[in-house]
Amino acid sequence: MHHFEYRNGKLFAEEVNVSELAKQYGTPAYIYSAATFRRHFQAFDSAFSDLDHLTCFSVKANSNLSVLKMLAEQGAGMDVVSGGELFRALKAGVAADKIVYSGVGKRAAEIKQALEAGILMFNVESIAELHKINDVAEEMGKIAKISIRINPDVDPQTHPYISTGMKKNKFGLDIEHSLEAYKLAAKLSHIEPIGMDCHIGSQLTSISPFLEALEKLLKFYERLKEINISIQYLDLGGGLGISYEEEEPPHPSEFGKALAEKLAGVPLKVILEPGRVIAGNAGIMVTEVIYTKSNPTKNFLIVDAGMNDLIRPSLYGSYHRIGEVEKNERETKEYDIVGPICESGDFLARERDLPEVHDGELLAVFSAGAYGFTMASNYNSRPRACELIVDGETILVARKRESYEDLVANEL
């Protein structure tokens, strides 16, 4: 559920007319619903109330400071994958001991930054990283708390670019190498293994891959106990999908019930790292039609948002529902909705049916709250869009639109 709805043919974000937002703040623009963020977080977090757990929002999904602050106020921890994301989480007021640091390529300076902050733990993805963390912790006179990211070789049945838990993926260690990593961690002077971690992919529309991975992790947990390695945390990552088109992902409560059954009597605190399921349908991107164009085989809507603003359709072939900001009763036509970038791969949708659209009209790209702005770029020297948060009737400019001066501010 989300708080974007049509009233008398006009699209509203909570209590605010989207057309008025576009008129005041320009396009393209990302518009987020505060009520939807809060609702989705509480719906997810409460689904695991039968478990001792910590819900860490995946910052890579939406890293706006105001979004992070809003979720932190709801009790969220954070899952970060870079020093920049850690900086954002701390700046947003997230308690360091509710931050988990994932990612395959942590640099020494980032490890130091995290140790200085006092994060909950690192999710370690290689033997080399384990040694690096130990070296940095030793130099600082600190003990680094870690878990090993275990790659269970489970097919998440999702897009190959967002599949992360199979042998061919770059993430984590397989079961046997994970056991060796834990043995090493127990011997290293400035490492304390406190958890085990697994993240198999994103946009999963079934809980069966999660449960398959969990079975392997619980067997591995028994092997850890046999070698006297005692852990306290089980990090199951994120990945629960949302409905972009006709997907029917499970409700978090279904996942929570299944986990509670599987983990009954297991003395581990569960960490969950949702991103898309919280943020995806909490945001839209609004764009203006600059030109309409037709050739013998195609009708085009050329809009002012390009692949630099929303790359998911070009990168993944992803579907986003697109609708008029103000509905009309015109005859339906089939369009390719394309941007101004000098690439044939610059499109938001292909062969999409819409009531006939005219120059200057507005379109809303739905389900754009996750992996929208965070993946945006300045390609073709295009300033990035603004980000707005609507909270009832209140409008917050969460990020100002970039200017041309912003584009060159760091160049000499």
User: Which residues are documented as binding site for substrate?
Assistant: 276, 312, 316, 343, 371
- For the record, the structure tokens of 159 come out as 């897009």
User: Strand, helix or coil at 315?
Assistant: helix
Residues 6+ apart with CB under 8 A from 285: 28, 29, 30, 31, 305, 309, 310, 364, 365, 368, 372, 385
Distance CA 203, CA 201 (A): 7
Q: Contact, 3 vs 37, CB < 8 A?
A: no
The residues, ordered by sequence, that sit 6+ positions from 97 with a Cβ below 8 Å of its Cβ are 118, 119, 120
The backbone torsions φ and ψ at residue 374, rounded to the nearest 5 degrees and listed phi first, read -65, -25
Q: Please name every residue paired with 323 in a beta bridge, in sequence order, or none if there are none.
A: 364
> Would you please indicate which residues are annotated as catalytic (active-site) residues?
342
Are 98 and 120 in contact by the 8 Å Cβ rule? The answer is yes
Helix or strand holding residue 314 (H, E): helix 312-316
Backbone angles phi, psi at 305, to 5 degrees: -105, 130
Q: Strands 362-365 and 283-294: what pairing? A: antiparallel
DSSP letters spanning 178-211 = HHHHHHHHHHSTTEEEEEEE---BSSB--SHHHH
Quote the CA–CA distance of 71 and 219 in Å, as a whole number: 34
